[in-house]
Structures are given as C-alpha cells and as structure tokens.
Structure 1
C-alpha cells in the first residue's frame, strides 16, 4: 500500500467514523440488534459465526479474524423502516424513514502469526417520530443510536481459532414530546461504556466448521438528561448475547450456514421491566419497555459462480420481544418484525478490490393491545406495527 493510498484510506475511515456517530438508525431487525454488521452478513441472513472470510466477520465472531488476511472494508446500509400505531382505525405512521448505518474494519496479520482487527459498526438502535400528539404533545418520539468500536486479537491453534475483542460502546439518545412521562427536556444526551466480545471456531473436517461467540453486557454511563425516563435514574446498558453456528461446505463453490442466537434483554431493566410496574419512571426497579429475551434463527448460503461473481441469500426468524401487555410503551419502540428475507453478492474487479451489495426485507408484523389516547395513563384499544427494507453496499480491499 503506497503512502498516497494510505492517506486516502485514513481520510475515508475518519469520514465514515464521523458519519457513524451522527447516523440515527431506526429499530434494528432483531428487536434492538442489527441483523448483520457488514453488507455480506446482511446478504446471508446475518449468519457467519462459523465462517470468517472478511475483515468485518470479526464483528459476529472475533475468532473469524484469524482466518482473514490483511484487508480493509467499509460499507453503508440505507435502512428504511415503516412503523407506527393504529388507534380508532386511524393509521399513525412514524416519519423519518431513511437512516444511514455505516461500518468499517481493518484486519492486520502480526509477525507472531496472530491477527489484530479494528472494527467500527452500528450495533442497533430505535427511532420513532410522530407528528401527532400520541402522548399529549407533538411532535413525539425517541431516537437511540449505538456504535461499537472493537479491537480484536485473534489466532489459531491447530483446527481451533480464537479471538477476544474488548469493545467500546457509544450511544446517543433524544426524546421529544414526552411531557406525559415527566421528561421536560429535548436535549440529545450521550452515554459511554464497554464490555467484551469473544469467540472460537473449530474446523471439524475440511467441509465442516463450528462457531461459538458471546458478548457481555455493555455497561454504560447513565443518560442524565433522561433520569426521569429510564429505570435507575437514566441507566441504559446494552444487552448481552450468545451465538452458535455451523458452516458446511456442501460443494467446492457452495457454503451453507446456520446460526442460533440468544439475546438477553432481561439483563437491562430499562428495556425488560414491565411497563405496568406501579413505580415512577426513572426509579430503581421502575417501569421499562417490557421486552422479553428472544431467540433468533438464521440461515444463509454463499455460491461462488466464478472467479468474479459470488451470490448470497438468507433467511432469519426473530422472536418478537414485545407482548400485548406492553404495546402502550411499544408505540415509542415497535421492534416487532419477525421474518427477514435477504439477498446479495460480491463482484470482484480484480484480486484486490471488490464491491459487495445486499437487500433485506422484513414483512409487516402487528401486535394488538392498548395504545396512548392522550397523556398517560389515557389508553385505547389499538396496535403497533413495523416492516423494514434495507439496501447495503460495501467495498473490500485486499493487500
């Protein structure tokens, strides 16, 4: 890599990192988690815990970095959710329907045979933006964005690959029209913290690889501006998760993958506590969004048609974390989609450079319950709903 190229890549990386901090992703596809961190992962239904072939694969399993050479990746997902609530037969759709979600990663083999990987990517978030007074004021809504910066150290020992990734987490939140909940301000607040990601892969045979990866809870500083909204005076950590998977090389040019993921929303009271708890918002043990822990099943395939063209497809089923009893708060965070269909591929211009692309669609899902009919606790029968579409593009450079 020449100095000129290095300076260009550095400028591009800094620009993308800044954009990532300012991006405002809506509700991600697994409740509050993104279906995948890279364009290729999204094309394969979010699978990849047992398949490391790109720098960004360290985001799904840090052990994957050990199987990738020196590589730089960057990408952008344009995420478009359709979400809202129905009350009295009237569809109240949320505004702000397009959100940029960038990512970048650099994988660097070390002299000792191990690998260092630096990745930055949007972990997930939520957004609603209603022009009506759903909670007694207008406009009303919330905006949460989360970004991870991971430094992965990975290596191999025989058929076993391992990786560990201390991870810095940054999140930002803004709420509007929440006077009914006792939140007077509308200032954007920031929260910082971190945790650990780790994983292994085991190559059981030339055609079969198993993978296991986990993420601890990300312990975050409090949203002081929203101490009267989130349980524990503004406490809002990021949930832990664990993923196990398999990659089967069915043919020399065909790989089939299956992952199973568990997301532990119950470890974050502001997310998991019942919205019906008879305590003030913001108090210790107070109400939350009422989200349940969920399981996610992901299926994916990759078919290398020729030296230049690779095709990918996938499907994912995510349990819905929001029950009928928590639809009232769910108006602000209707993360209820369950089915996800994905497609994409990679076109290699040469041995060094390629373009990745993907499209993902989650059909509309609806949950019935009681929705706001004015300032809390006024409520009326209704429902919340969401569907999603996203288009992703990425660039991969091999050194």
Structure 2
C-alpha cells in the first residue's frame, strides 16, 4: 500500500526532473529558482525554506499552501570519435554527433506550512522532485557495415557516431535513461529566541531508474541488456539553524544527511531474448548548505554555498569495470555550488528577482564514458522571476531559467576488453567521447494563505 502511494505521488508531482548541479536540483519552486536556489538564510517562500533549511520556516506565521508547475527543456548532444586504422588497416577517422530527442518535461512541487503568530512551533510538509537525469539518444543509422560485417558503400565516416553504433558493432546503440527522485518531508521548527530557530526534517524518498542498455548488469556474448524501470525507497533527514538580526542580517546553515536507498532490482532482457536479474545501489549524497541574507525595505539579498559529497555516496563513489565487465559506478567527484539572488520590492505588489547559480563538474575526464546516461551537468544558470499579489490570500509567481554547461565534458571511449594494469579503465587510444547541453525552463506557481483566526 505504501509503495503504491509513493508511485501515485511520483506520477502526479515528479514525472521527470533534470539535474542542474550534478544531479541535484538547484532550487524548488518559482520563487526559489528565481533566486538561483539561495534560501538557506533568506526564506522568501515556503518551498525554498522547506528545501534548504528546515529551521527557516519559523519565519512564517500563517497557514500557506503552494503549488508550482514548470516545463523544462534540455538539448544534450553526444559525440564520439575513433582514430584512423581502428576498424581495419587504412580505415578513416570516424566522428559523429547525436542529438537528444526527449522534448519537454514537467516539474511540479507542492508545499504546505502551518503556524500561529503567537507560537514558537512551526510545521511543514512537502513533496518535491529534488533530483534526476534523463537522455534519449537514437541509434546511429549511418553505419560502416551491416550486422554480417559487409561494408556499407554509402557510409560517411564524418557523420557517424561510434558510441551509438549497434552493440554488434561495439557501440551502445539506442541510449536511454530515466532517473527521478521524489522526496516527501515532514518539517518541524522551534524558535529558541526571537532571533534563533532550529529545525529538523525526516525524509522518505522514492526513486525510479531506467537504463538502456544497462551497463550495471553483466553483459552476455551479445552485449548489455535493456531493462524496465526499477524502483527503490530511501530514508534520511535534514537539520538546520536560522538566525535573523534586528537590522536585516540573516544567517543560516543546514545539513542534509545521505539519503540511504534500497537496491534497484532490474529485470534485464538481452538482445538474444534471454533474461536475468541484477541489482544496483544508488544513494543521494549528503549536502552541507551555508547561507547569508540581508533585507531592507526595497531589497532582499541572498547568497548560499553548498558542498555535495558524492565521493562517499554509494553508486557515485566507485568507478571502473567489475570482474564481470559491468560498470561499478559513476565515479563522481565532490562539487561546490554557489547560489545568489536579489529581489527588488520597490514596485507595489510586483517584486522582481534575478538569480545566478554556479556548479563545479562532478565528472572528470577519465570517467566521462561511464556517464553518457547522465549528461545533465550545468555550470552556469541564470534566472529571472517576478510575483504578483492578487489579494491577501493569493499570490502568483513566475520564473524563466536558462542554463549552460560552458564547454563539453570530454574523455576517451572505454572498453573492458582493453582493461589492464597499465590501462585500468580500458581507454581506447586516440578516441574521444563528449557531451554538453543547454537547458531552459518556464515555471509558474500559486500560493494561498488560509485564514488563521
């Protein structure tokens, strides 16, 4: 019953989410996204507060319900190359680019906070899609030969992507991935003094993962299998402290523990029709957030720093080939995220916001090949947003986001058949694999403040 409930919530509120910083969403909801995700010490709305610092919901004295819905578009491109003489003596160099054809994806978020003006206790609940990645790269149809090894006289080596060749030709063929993490949190904040609050948020998480082909499974003689979506349940928590001065300065800190998940249990189907089961564990990393904010009658300023601990997270800490030629993990480095935002309140009922987010890249050159299914790495993201207060109850928010990877993530193509003590990852000499992407998003939100009498 519990699993069915999470599947329903996941379908309604987290159909698909794309990553902005590693595979961590840079923000939640229209207001928080428009501030670049900065909210640890500047809780402008309940969604950002619930996501980044549970203690900061003590700044709200009403019962507030908030729903945001966005449309997210990404345009990843995957390219690879092989050097001359790789296919046969005298064969030309090969290069090609494949564009993702996934299209637009929805991004909903739901939050609720309830409190009383004269109470030191504030409560909250949220259902956020906080993480995800997904690509769809079609199989290459400009091939050097057919499945029987007969040369193709019409082959163009200057427009043929080797990594998307069929597995019979040592490529991956059609590459598709879908990963989504829905987090449901129950939040409690307590106001220790007029200036300091603490908060805690236990979380229960639901994740789904699909990989085609599935490199975490053992390959057969005909290659890696495809798999249907597998699901996993995880648990974790978040703790925070929030300080607001009497002259506009605000400070905040929070720590989200590693969200520990059960294994994804895959039902794999190989190209010859045989089947087998496999397991893969992928947790969500611990995140330390530090924030500073400052408010005047006309402006709100926010700056957040985050450190994401991929190097101690199952599924991301390991890399390389196992003894059975499956992939051990993504092999990501820890990353730093900087979020900054400014809100101008000089126009009555129409605050305007600008936001910026910077993220370092968790994927080093050596493991770029392993991360083809998770190419959604954005270095710089820019946001513009505004709100309009309809009346004392309703508020409407909007944001436009644009993100760029600022250069390709590039490495060498790898093969377990070439792995050795001197070449542990099996790098193919002279080969390349790379990917980059841009993202854009439009999101609108509405909040309703209940009568608190």
TM range (shorter): 0.7 to 0.9
- Counterpart of 1:11? none
- How far apart, in 2, do the equivalents of 1:366 and 1:390 lie? 21
- The correspondence of residues 329-368 of structure 1 with structure 2, limited to 5 A, is 329-364=370-405, 365-368=407-410
- Counterpart of 1:7? none
- How far apart, in 1, do the equivalents of 2:287 and 2:403 lie? 22
Alignment counterpart, residue 27 of structure 2, candidates 29, 36, 59: 36
Which structure 1 segments of 5+ residues have no match? 1-13
Post-superposition shift, 1:177?
A: 2.7
- Counterpart of 1:265? 310
- Counterpart of 2:272? none
Q: Deviations over 1:195-253 (max 9, x none)?
A: 0011111113321010001100011110011799xxx941111111010010012x312
1:85 aligns with 2:92: no
- The correspondence of residues 1-399 of structure 1 with structure 2, limited to 5 A, is 18-21=11-14, 23-26=15-18, 28-56=19-47, 57-68=49-60, 69-88=62-81, 89-109=95-115, 113-132=120-139, 134=164, 136=167, 137-158=172-193, 159-178=195-214, 182=219, 183-225=224-266, 233-249=279-295, 251-274=296-319, 276-277=320-321, 279-280=323-324, 287-364=328-405, 365-371=407-413, 380-399=431-450
- Counterpart of 1:5? none
Q: Secondary structure at the match of 1:337?
A: coil
Q: Deviations over 1:260-311 (max 9, x none)?
A: 000011122312322x3554466xxx72112100001111111113331011
Post-superposition shift, 1:54?
A: 2.1
TM-score (structure 1 length as normaliser): 0.87
TM-score (structure 2 length as normaliser): 0.77
Post-superposition shift, 1:17?
A: 5.9
Q: Secondary structure at the match of 2:56?
A: helix
Post-superposition shift, 1:127?
A: 0.5
Post-superposition shift, 1:171?
A: 0.2
Post-superposition shift, 1:367?
A: 1.7
Post-superposition shift, 1:81?
A: 1.4
- Counterpart of 1:10? none
- How far apart, in 2, do the equivalents of 1:216 and 1:227 lie? 32
Aligned residues: CA RMSD: 2.6
Post-superposition shift, 1:93?
A: 1.4
Post-superposition shift, 1:15?
A: 8.6
- How far apart, in 1, do the equivalents of 2:348 and 2:318 lie? 51
Which structure 2 segments of 5+ residues have no match? 1-6, 82-94, 141-163, 270-277, 419-425
- How far apart, in 2, do the equivalents of 1:181 and 1:77 lie? 38
Q: Deviations over 1:9-58 (max 9, x none)?
A: xxxxx99764224x0223x1011000101111100111010022322121
Decide which structure has greater strand share.
1
Cα contact 2:34–2:385 (8 A) shared by 1: yes
Would the alpha carbon gap of residues 181 and 90 (structure 1) be closer, same or farther in structure 2, given more than 3 Å must change?
Answer: farther
Cα contact 1:45–1:299 (8 A) shared by 2: yes
Post-superposition shift, 1:84?
A: 2.6
Moved more, 124-133 or 28-37: 124-133
- How far apart, in 1, do the equivalents of 2:190 and 2:371 lie? 43
- How far apart, in 1, do the equivalents of 2:325 and 2:112 lie? 42
- How far apart, in 1, do the equivalents of 2:399 and 2:51 lie? 18
- How far apart, in 1, do the equivalents of 2:268 and 2:243 lie? 45
Would the alpha carbon gap of residues 236 and 79 (structure 1) be closer, same or farther in structure 2, given more than 3 Å must change?
Answer: same
Larger Rg: 2
